[in-house]
Structure 1
Amino acid sequence: MRIHGVAVGASYSVADAVSVDRLGDGADFGVTRLNEPPGWATDSTLYEIYVRGYADDDEEAETTFEALENRLNYLDELGVDCLWLTPVLQHDGKPHGYNITDFFAIADDLGTRDDYEAFVDAAHDRGMAVLFDLVLNHSARDHEWFQDAYQNPDAQYRDRYEWQESGEPGTYFDWELIANFDFTSLEVRRHLLDAADTWAEVADGFRCDMAWAVPESFWKELRDRLKSEDPEFLLLDETIPYIADFHEGMFDIHFDTTLYFMLRQVGSGHEPAESLLDAVEGRTRSGFPDHAAFMLYLENHDETRYVVECGDDAAKAAAGALFTLPGIPMLYGGQELGQRGTRDPLAWGDAREEIRSHYDDLLALHDDHPVLGVEGELVDVEYETENPDDVVAFGRKDGDAGYVVLLNFGPGTATVGIDETVDATDLVSGVSRAAEDGLTVEDVAVFETTG
């Protein structure tokens, strides 16, 4: 039996659902929340690897996958749990890999399928999951289907793409090297579902590129297909902005694009720091259920590095937000090193120890205090400070465990008075932050409540 529930009145929500099933032949029943994300994923810290550039300094590795495998010990030491690799399939030569020419073949410039599987196995040996970047909205124009169909209305593969009146293929953002698939074609759907089945046998989940551009009916079919084989398989959607309806029988975890943009606004001085809390609360206003999970991020392969746009002070505070606000933190490869180029080869030799140490402290904090992750409740804290635009205070609580978090996006040290009783020892730095008028914070500080 399935039970569905939605908000009533003026509120909007997606239909949340539970399944009630008999356990064996007895009188006992079990309850499963159908849209619940996999437990292993909500306990993770994600890490995006831009595959062409991350390990370019490895001159001894025979393939890119071998070079990436050689970095796994570093990632294990860093403390991340789940690796998202940018696309690894055969492509048109553009280094980002999102213009795919063969949905069933590993890119020649990276290695072979055996090399890819060896990388995944090596990650699993270290307790790390691997996400496959699934690109389904389009193919490259170099794809054999498009080559057959372009300017040929009678072509065998003509109905597999969207076409404009001009005779050009449908695309978004005037992208000239791709063509949108037509999902009314059963052959397209079958082809892409088969491709997803192929890579689901290897990876632990999919990061679904441009999820907003693919019909919801397709995602529902894909989810049912994958979850029937492995209920713990992860589906992460890229939607800008996020779409609450995608939580209803489609995706497990969502890009928190709203918080991402607000972190940029706060870091560049265009919004006060307290706006971050409204961004998080916007999830409920948008219709997500309370157990929906979100990926928190500052950077990815499409965006200017946060430190470049907002500076060191804001970057440290924003990193603190990733690891203390409700959600699943994600780092983009090199973020923890102070890397300034978005898609440049990582400058391992120029890593900034101050930045790396900061992320080490935050990763350890997040591991030691699960309340700061997905499960803890976000609660208001009354506070006073002479730096209201730069500083925000909030609480995290789960049962008897409670914490107060201070973030300071501005330069120097801020003093914050709070209406809570806490141990003044900062859990990030390990030093006392007690001051005459409250507590001090340079970028991020976390205190355990005692009242």
Structure 2
Amino acid sequence: MARKWWQDKVVYQIYPRSFQDSNGDGIGDLPGIISRLDYLADLGVDALWLSPVCQSPQDDNGYDISDYQNIDPMFGTLDDMEQLIAEAKKRNIKIIMDLVLNHSSDEHRWFQEAKKSKDNPYHDYYVWRDGEEGVLPNDMKASFGGSAWEWVPELGQYYFHQFSVKQPDLNWENPKVRREIYDMILWWMDKGVGGFRLDVIDQIAKEPDKKITTNGPKLHEFLRELSKETFQKADLITVGETWGADPERAKRYSNPDGSEFSMVFQFEHVMLDQEEGKEKWDLSPLPFVELKKNFAKWQKELHGSGWNSLFWNNHDLPRIVSRWGNDKEYRVESAKMLATILHGMQGTPYIYQGEELGMTNVRFPDITHYRDIETLHMYEERLEAGYKKEDIMKSIYAKSRDNARTPMQWNDSTNAGFTTGTPWIEVNPNYTEINAENETKDPDSIYNYYKKLIKLRKANEIFTEGEFHLLLEEDSQIFAYTRTTETETMCVIANFTATPAPCRLIEKWNKTEKLIHNYNTENTDGILRPYEAIIYIDR
């Protein structure tokens, strides 16, 4: 497989609303991001993926776009965006935009026109079905609760929405819609954008009459056309969010020929700690052995025929150190261990803002402190269904998207240095202890450990090229694997638990070069300490 320039790069995801506020209104913005570019350059990241900054009524925190070619005033202006692209470029950092192409906001001018009449040229930009009020086209449900169909009395029709009622689905069957989308993407490419993350892109080929939302029959036809008309005209980083991907589909999405995307986000590993067949809120212990085998499957299947994205966190997921690490007595050790495991694999690592500091989940006292539409819907639905309030809050503490959305913790001043005003969502109270100012100064911090991992990836080709082999498959505590090229072998060994774990691999690998270790003292007895992680290399 020909090496691509982006394969040894590391991406940092920014949730702009919560990253840095520059004007005291309590909401993060583009000038705020610009002011923190030196911090990101020091960390060593190569690209910044921004969650949506396009104009939006913010019904779903920007994933409901009302103008694809403008910046939402809460984040700044188009001039600010152009300045961010230019300033990032000076630091060899690319900007990756988050595009929502499955649906728009109901406040987008296309939908405003579409509602006027069935004869309006924009009507067919969306998915409509004739009917009568109260008689739904079918029983499909929206992801945020309720029916996926919304009645428009003046038209005598329902429109289809897979998410909020304010997020009508675009009709990709209409070539005019596709052309509008391509022209918009080319416009951003001309502005100097270095790539795109495509939100729920495997849902664009929906066929609601057949109750098909994900992986519709025309999906790859649409994606190949999208890539040919846009991405292939420049050398971009592109990543598709595909909740419905399996390895075979992922090989098509991330084919090395560039016919679709550079890489794919798949989510099998992050769905392991929920009860099978139930919602994410129905908590279940992590089946650790299954987690290892899942990673191994994706590493082996895509080696040489596709490309993985590597992530523990994003704006939709809880903080990994609270989820599968130990955010109490072993917060630092477990955060470094989780980073070690992930960054040692083949693929492009994604660091979500604050992950490099070991930021944790938040436990607000009650539902009034939460802002996430999905969390609030679930709370009301489960209350009505008779769930106990404390059980609902337990699920929220574990899985709410707001865990990832509390403000970035810059220092120990008021509001963690995020804003001089009142933040749109409260800061996690532990910011006085966990913050960037403390960690950048401390050579043993999680931040400096991430910095070292990023440097290792760029300095050692084996991180990009090496073939993956899982070791100790059935071990209930140890995550160990090798990466092998013709001339080198690297071994990653980690204790995923707070209990010491005897490991027969240590004696053998202690004789080789050690690339990184999350404890300051040598391992001399062959017993992995709580959350201990080491990467060795035999050259």
Same fold (TM over 0.5): yes
8 A contact 1:378–1:394 mirrored in 2: yes
Identity of aligned residues (%): 27
CA–CA separation in structure 1 for the residues paired with 2:28 and 2:496: 41
Contact 1:366 1:373 in 2 (8 A): no
Q: Which amino acid aligns with 1:134?
A: L
Structure showing the higher strand proportion among its residues: 1
Is 1:250 aligned to residue 254 of structure 2? no
Judged with a 3 Å threshold, the aligned counterparts in structure 2 of structure 1 residues 126 and 87 are, in CA distance, closer, same or farther, namely same
> Which letter maps to 2:309?
M
Deviations 1:86-136 (A, max 9, x none): 112111234721111112222222222221011011111111111011111
Structure 1: gaps of 5 or more residues = 1-32
Aligned partner of 1:345 among 393, 407, 411? 407
Equivalent positions of 1:17-96 (< 5 A) are 39-56=4-21, 59=24, 64-94=29-59, 96=61
**Is the aligned partner of 1:293 residue 2:303?**
no
Length-normalised TM-score, structure 2: 0.68
1:170 is aligned to 160
1:271-315 Cα offsets, whole Å, 9 max, x none, are 13x434421332378x64624111111111111222333333554
Q: Within 5 A, what are the aligned runs for 1:307-386?
A: 307-310=321-324, 311-312=326-327, 313=330, 314-339=334-359, 340=361, 341-349=403-411, 350=431, 351-352=434-435, 357-369=445-457, 370-371=460-461, 373-381=463-471
SS in 2 for 1:254: strand
**TM-score normalised to the size of structure 1?**
0.81
The answer (yes or no) to whether the contact 1:205–1:233 under 8 Å persists in 2 is yes
Larger CA deviation: 125-134 vs 57-66: 57-66
Alpha-carbon distance, 1:240 to partner: 0.7
Counterpart in 2 of 1:189? 178
Given the alignment of the two structures, is residue 280 of structure 1 paired with residue 300 of structure 2, yes or no? no
C-alpha contact (below 8 Å) 1:362/1:428 kept by paired residues: no
Identify which of 220, 238, 242 aligns with 1:239: 242
Distance change in 2, residues 1:338/1:277 (3 Å):
closer
In structure 1, the residue matched to 2:286 is 270
The aligned residue for residue 534 of structure 2 is 445
Q: How does 1:90-105 map to 2 (within 5 A)?
A: 90-94=55-59, 96-105=61-70
| 8 A contact 2:296–2:470 mirrored in 1 | no
> Match for 2:106: what amino acid?
R
In 2, distance between residues paired with 1:92 and 1:60? Answer: 17
1:226 CA drift (Å): 2.8
CA distance in 2 between counterparts of 1:364 and 1:127 reads 18
Deviations 1:235-272 (A, max 9, x none): 2111013233323421111114224445999x974313
User: Do 1:381 and 1:420's aligned partners in 2 also have CA atoms closer than 8 Å?
Assistant: no
CA separation of 1:263/1:322 partners in 2, compared to 1, >3 Å: closer, same or farther? farther
Distance 1:145 1:170 in 2: 15
Aligned pairs (5 A) from 1:110-121? 110-121=75-86
Go from structure 1 to structure 2 and tell me whether the alpha carbon gap of 1:128 and 1:268 turns closer, same or farther (over 3 Å shift). farther
Aligned CA distance change for structure 1 residues 148 and 225 (closer, same or farther; 3 Å): closer
Are the counterparts in 1 of residues 43 and 450 from structure 2 also a CA contact under 8 Å?
Answer: no
Q: C-alpha separation between the residues in 2 aligned to 1:317 and 1:93?
A: 36
Kindly provide the amino acid, as one letter, of the partner of residue 403 in structure 1: M
Amino acid at match of 1:307: V
Count of aligned pairs: 407
Letter in 1 for 2:253: F
